[in-house]
A = this chain, B = another copy of it.
Amino acid sequence: MRAEVADAQYEQAVVDLLAVLAYGELTAFERTAADAAMTTNLADKVALAELAIAEYRHFEMLRDGIELRGANADAAMEPFVSPLEEFHAHTRPSDYLEGLVKAYVGDGVAADFYREIAVNLDPATRELVNAVCEDHGQSVFIVERVRASIKDDPRIAGRLALWGRRLIGEALSQAQRVAAERDALSALLVGGVDRPGTDLAEMGRMLARLTENHTRRMTALGLAA
């Protein structure tokens, strides 16, 4: 493959990556605000509103990153609207606790995954991806709330553990759909015609790391993974 074709493919992959992240942050903003509306506890409302605003700021950073690369952010996000909306439609929390678990477990595994991809990127893009995937301490608040609720009523732990598994299943299913449709983006992870990409052994190690972190988060919440 000629260098300029490889460059164009890399550019497309980076724009795809920033775009899926950007739309993810925009929907995270909406979801977190909806979580805030599900509680009457004012301290919780404030913590969630601040988290929602941080997510919107990430969306802005990513949108600016896309535009800086000469692409149109709306057009770039368009292919990811339907997979992300479908993920959310299939994982609509039925109550406040399910919303909190979704924010912690779902966003956690997504952030881990994007950080794994970021290792293969140019430094500026890697820095942007790592910045928006950083946990700004909001997890502490969620972990406390979920643990306290389980302590009050241990029976909910089974339902929330199932919920966590369903979240991961839906996330994998939408991720596969995106991978099948966006060749350039998949090539960032598994390599393309022009470059070897991650080999099978490394892919296995990555999946092991993602699973391990997921289990750690479920345990932190007091849930069986």
Contact = CB atoms under 8 A, between A and B. Distances in A.
A61 B131 CA distance: 28
A77 interface: yes
Interface in A44-59: 45-46, 49, 52-53, 56, 59
Contacts of A37: 27, 30-31, 34
A59 B53 CA distance: 13
Contacts of A31: 37
A36 B37 CA distance: 14
Nearest to A50: B56
A94 interface: no
Interface string A9-51: 0000000000000000011011101101100101101100100
Contact of A74 (B34, B43, B56, B59): B43
B26 A49 contact: yes
Interface majority SS (helix, strand, loop, mixed), chain A: helix
Interface residues of A, number: 24
A81 interface: yes
A182 to B, nearest CB: 19
A85 interface: yes
Interface string A67-103: 0000001100100010001000000000000000000
A52 B56 CA distance: 10
B74 A42 contact: yes
A86 to B, nearest CB: 12
11 contacts: A26-B42, A26-B45, A26-B46, A29-B49, A30-B33, A30-B49, A33-B52, A40-B81, A43-B74, A49-B56, A49-B59
Interface of A: 26-27, 29-31, 33-34, 36-37, 40, 42-43, 45-46, 49, 52-53, 56, 59, 73-74, 77, 81, 85
